[in-house]
Structure 1
Amino acid sequence: MTNPLLTPSARSAGRIVVWVLFGLLVLAILAAAWVGVRGYLAYGHVRDAQQTVREIRANITDTEATSTRVAELAEQTSSAHSLTSDPVWRAAEYVPWVGEQLSAVSTAIATVDEVASSALGPLVEVTQDFSVEDLRPTDGRINVEALASVQDVAAMSAERVSRAADRIENIDRRPLLAPVAEQIDEVGEQLRTASSGADAITRASQLMPAMLGHEGPREYLLLFQNNAEARSLGGLVGAMALLRTDSGTISLESQSAAVEFPRFDEPVLPLSDDRAALFDNQPARWMSNVTQIPDFTVSAPLAQAMWERQTGQHVDGVIAVDPVALSYVLESIGPLTLPTGDVITSENAVQLLLNDPYVRFDDPRQQDEFFQATAAAIFDAMLSGAAEPGPLLDAFTRATREGRVAIWNENEADQAVLDGTPLQGKPLDVRPEQTTFGVFLNDGTPSKMSFYSRVTSGASWCTNESGGIEAVLEVALRNAAPPAAATLPTSITGAGRIVPRGSTRTVTYLYLPEGAEIVSATSSSNAGFGRGNDGDRSVLIWEAVLAPDEEVSATVRVSTEYTHDLRVVTTPTVPGGSETVTPPCSVTEAG
């Protein structure tokens, strides 16, 4: 029924408005359907792309298969990008709330597509002539030219992938639906993994040729840390070896032991006033103690100076590894028969190197000779090409992540390549958005009882009585030696002059976050704490003597600036010797 009060022209205009609104509604429905259908199709391509990424990671050492998969990935991401970047989709991104979901999805897909097409593609193309098999020595030589050839493309790819990872990181998750946010997080995690891999390739292609003597011979001092007698970075320096590299060849020139080095009357190099007081200059006077300082960029030059004073030989750099890292390497080699007739494997290496020699040999020189013979056998196997390159890289990566490998180059440009990586051996070198405690263990007796030491540590953000937040560190030490540990050989327990045989004496340096103020520090044994500083960090010195199966704990509460990333770094121990827990405390989330 028409309204008689309206003129014909007004009624006509009304009908037009209704039809326009109806048309707009239809267009909106069609646009929503269009976006929905294209979103569904894009999701299918994204899902396929994620599966392809998993296949690439699983077969990363197969260059031909990786090349095929990366091409497939580029097609999948390109299709997804095309489906989420047309004008209708772009217009829908301006719709309140819904647009934020669509914008996040299109940004993530466009970012991944850029990586697949402009970063991974060129890297795979240039590595067609290079594979991890090129890292397998042939006639004792590694093909450094092949590795050096990927430097420029690797650097370009690493920069692009890192930039892409940052773009995903900057997507605001707050307005997103949980499923969308989860997908964005997964993409971000995959890009961070890819960024780490590309960065590692870049650094390796820059540093390895130089260290392998591509530009002239070099000599490196190799330190073997003994975790059975703890030092901050892992263990005291026991056996040592001199390595020489030249045009990709590696030779073991000589072997030595720290016991052959005297105690130097004066520090071989000056320590900072803080460190000289904290460690009583011991790392600068004893080769066995250079790793007492939790910073390999300080420890390594000390070892270099001591080696030169004792032998007259100047080395170009210092490398540190521990027996646990060697056990990982053995996973890539397989069982080896030693000159003693022992068969060493990845499963028994830690026991064979860190405990058995002290049961079988009374003479420290025999113990060192056994270790040197084992190291030489592993070294020879690697140079003969017996190690599978893929598993060897996995072993090296795992050992590096756990802080069991450290490298220092005297050449500043070479050393700068390692900036910000665990290979520098600087566990407290953290990013601004991190809050980090350090728990560094040092055996307080000339014994090998650290083999039986167990440490549990963790930190939490906790509320104080006034409602503020503080960081709380908890550390527990336990002597897991057998009840009859006192009957073990004196080379394990010590002579009993400092602590009873079978007991452990651990001096722990508790490094607090930079600028943190101590609120309280308590120990279950009611023992006090020594205090010192290392640069901007306050350090508590906590000593504990434990009989077999005894345990002691310490709790430290500090006032420091809140960050999302609260962590504890500890001395690398024998497998199973360290555990991370979260102290029972209410955690305050950022507001």
Structure 2
Amino acid sequence: MPDSPRFAPLHPRRIFAAAVCLVAVAGLALAAWVGVRAALAQGHLLQARTALSAMPSTVDASATAAEALRVVAVDTSAARALTADPVWGFAERLPWVGPQLSAVSDTAAAVDDAVTALAPLARASAGLSAGALRPVDGVVDVSPLTAMAPAAADAATALREAADRVAGIDRTPLLGRVAKNVSRAGDLLGSAADTADVLRRTTALLPAMLGADRQRSTLVLFQNNAEWRSLGGVVGAVAQLDTAQGRMTLTAQASSADFAATAGTPVAALPDDVQSIYDTRPARFLQNTTQVPDFSVGAPLAREMWRRAHGTTVDSVIALDPVTLSYLLRATGPVRLPSGDELSADDAVALLLQESYRRYPDPREQDAFFQSASAAVFQALADGDVDPEALVEAVTRAARERRLLVWNADAAEQAILDGSTLQGALPAADARRGTFGVYLNDGTGSKMDTYLHPVVETAWCTADTASLHVELRNDAPDPDSLPPYVTGDGEYGVPPGDALTGVYIYLPPGAELLERRTSSDGAPPGFAGGVHDGREVVKWSAQVAPGQTARLDLRVRLTTPELAAVATPTRDPDEIPRPGPCRFSA
């Protein structure tokens, strides 16, 4: 009996064709499965992003935010589930398409983790409003902040981990659209992590500084940007602020002239590397406690000077400047001074750094005017006549611009500020970013720096060499039109109207100085140097007459992939370091 055709052996070509068909069908099924789930996941993530963007940002809307997060969590959880099944995981191992899918699933998981971490914080702050933080009869109720502290700490940790996870995704193999979405998610998570970190620090430290557990004393240093020091300006007026159970009291005020008795010998020994660059002046004169560009060095010196002069050992030291006062005035509104002046956000800097010197030739009268201005702003804050949202923005901006500095004698409390600009520390040693420090110090013995304008620019010259450009321009009017106290009147050998500046340039750790060039319309520049905390320091002394400009260019060898600079904050918030052209030929 002949064999039935259905039992005939299959030809190899048929086997191969069948296999190809099966692979094709499986591939199509896999592509369809992954494609559909990717589209659905993308839809959920877009909905979540839209909802987050529309979420109210004010503290008063925290209850609304908590509800919005619950809605967002549904979408982020769905996106995570859609990109975490076994089929998707198998596809992640495929060439080319695998990295795209891995990036999507990793991003979805990180976003979901972030939203999950925010939920407890939203619940903890649901009863908190901006009005609840406003002082009532001079008292701030810090209990809501204290209650939020654990949730804020957990959220900050989780958000930073999520942000770092997305930041670590390799963008190289990603398609344009995928790379763009990953970058957007990374930016969103990074911003959220930064905000959560600020909240963590605030809820951990502010209640203690407001005397939640015991009475606290804080020394406030008012820096004068018209006479530069590394951290902002000379310390002219000082005040002691006492707090207990949230009640703030301005206990005492003084002028730098009141510390003349302590100016003879150092109040403490300076580290050898600091003393080799700045001598002992920061430890002898209150005005110079902000000369070292590390507030952890100068703040304890000011604390000891205050103890010797007034008998009180304070727990903390804060430094701020007239620009910070102008920011705070946007929250309080104009305040009336004993002189009859109305101090507002728009005129505070000009009134304090220029007009006051025309009115009051006696430095003690100038300091008294500063004290009255700071006391009036403090009283407005203590009275609670303040816009809380504007106050948060004022403090945040001042901290970002390094105008607001904080030091706590308690090491554990100070550690809460680690890595923040509030510490006024030297630029962090970072394997990824090489950061120059450019610190300005008046050498004229005058208030001419209100007319001096710096430019700081950084640039890459080659793959491993970078340049720093520093420029000082003097736009002072005719010196004869200025009070002698402003010009210095030649008391320290500098002609009236000229400005002598010592510029201390801290090279990034590991940088090698290759070349320096100067050009100046005035006196030839002078150079000195040293090493501070392992960083090479180049001191450039430039004397600039009205209408003239001095310039310095440095070229260094540097191996970090990124480049940055920080500089002394001046009276003009726009005078900040920026990218620029390389000033050296290849």
TM-score range for the pair, normalised by the shorter chain length: over 0.9
2:494 alignment partner in structure 1: 499
Instruction: Read off the aligned partner of 2:40 and give its amino acid letter.
Output: L
C-alpha distance 97-61 of structure 1, shift in aligned 2 (>3 A):
farther
Alignment TM-score, normalising by the size of structure 1: 0.93
1:578 aligns with 2:575: yes
Instruction: Read off the aligned partner of 2:335 and give its amino acid letter.
Output: L
**1:20 CA drift (Å):** 4.7
Q: CA RMSD in A?
A: 2.1
Is the contact between residue 338 and residue 374 of structure 1 (CA under 8 Å) also seen in structure 2? yes
**1:158 CA drift (Å):** 1.2
Alignment of 1:116-195 (within 5 A): 116-117=115-116, 119-195=117-193
2:367 alignment partner in structure 1: 368
Deviation track 1:8-37 (CA, whole Å, cap 9, x = no partner) reads: 633377546534532432332233233223
Q: Which of residues 504, 510, 527 in structure 2 aligns to 1:509?
A: 504
Q: Secondary structure at the match of 2:150?
A: helix
Is the contact between residue 467 and residue 583 of structure 2 (CA under 8 Å) also seen in structure 1? no
Q: Secondary structure at the match of 1:523?
A: strand
Q: Secondary structure at the match of 1:408?
A: strand
Q: Secondary structure at the match of 2:248?
A: strand
Is the contact between residue 229 and residue 450 of structure 1 (CA under 8 Å) also seen in structure 2? yes
- May I ask how many residue pairs the two structures share in their alignment? 576
C-alpha distance 139-125 of structure 1, shift in aligned 2 (>3 A):
same
* In structure 2, distance between residues paired with 1:142 and 1:577: 34
Q: Secondary structure at the match of 2:155?
A: helix
Is the contact between residue 228 and residue 354 of structure 1 (CA under 8 Å) also seen in structure 2? yes
Deviation track 1:190-246 (CA, whole Å, cap 9, x = no partner) reads: 111111111111111111111111111011110000001100000000111100011
* In structure 2, distance between residues paired with 1:55 and 1:354: 42
* In structure 2, distance between residues paired with 1:471 and 1:69: 47
Alignment of 1:33-432 (within 5 A): 33-56=32-55, 58-59=57-58, 61-117=60-116, 119-262=117-260, 264-432=263-431
* In structure 2, distance between residues paired with 1:15 and 1:577: 75
Q: Secondary structure at the match of 1:355?
A: helix
**1:411 CA drift (Å):** 1.0
**1:73 CA drift (Å):** 1.7
1:3 alignment partner in structure 2: none
**1:417 CA drift (Å):** 1.0
Is the contact between residue 152 and residue 196 of structure 2 (CA under 8 Å) also seen in structure 1? yes
* In structure 2, distance between residues paired with 1:247 and 1:30: 66
Q: Secondary structure at the match of 2:9?
A: helix
Q: Secondary structure at the match of 2:289?
A: helix
**1:296 CA drift (Å):** 0.3
- Show structure 1 runs of 5+ residues with no match: 1-5
Is the contact between residue 530 and residue 541 of structure 1 (CA under 8 Å) also seen in structure 2? yes
* In structure 2, distance between residues paired with 1:289 and 1:366: 20
* In structure 2, distance between residues paired with 1:457 and 1:251: 40
1:476 aligns with 2:471: yes
* In structure 2, distance between residues paired with 1:438 and 1:61: 40
Q: Secondary structure at the match of 2:169?
A: coil
Is the contact between residue 319 and residue 404 of structure 2 (CA under 8 Å) also seen in structure 1? yes
C-alpha distance 13-577 of structure 1, shift in aligned 2 (>3 A):
closer
Is the contact between residue 442 and residue 502 of structure 2 (CA under 8 Å) also seen in structure 1? yes
Instruction: Read off the aligned partner of 1:515 and give its amino acid letter.
Output: G
C-alpha distance 249-59 of structure 1, shift in aligned 2 (>3 A):
closer
* In structure 2, distance between residues paired with 1:12 and 1:547: 97
Instruction: Read off the aligned partner of 1:259 and give its amino acid letter.
Output: A
C-alpha distance 18-517 of structure 1, shift in aligned 2 (>3 A):
closer
Is the contact between residue 427 and residue 569 of structure 1 (CA under 8 Å) also seen in structure 2? no
**1:554 CA drift (Å):** 0.4
- Show structure 2 runs of 5+ residues with no match: none
Instruction: Read off the aligned partner of 2:9 and give its amino acid letter.
Output: A
* In structure 2, distance between residues paired with 1:200 and 1:403: 15
C-alpha distance 35-341 of structure 1, shift in aligned 2 (>3 A):
same
**1:138 CA drift (Å):** 1.4
Is the contact between residue 454 and residue 577 of structure 1 (CA under 8 Å) also seen in structure 2? no
Deviation track 1:501-547 (CA, whole Å, cap 9, x = no partner) reads: 22211111111122333212221135341122213111111111111
Instruction: Read off the aligned partner of 1:28 and give its amino acid letter.
Output: G
Question: Which segment is superposed worse, 91-100 or 417-426?
Answer: 91-100
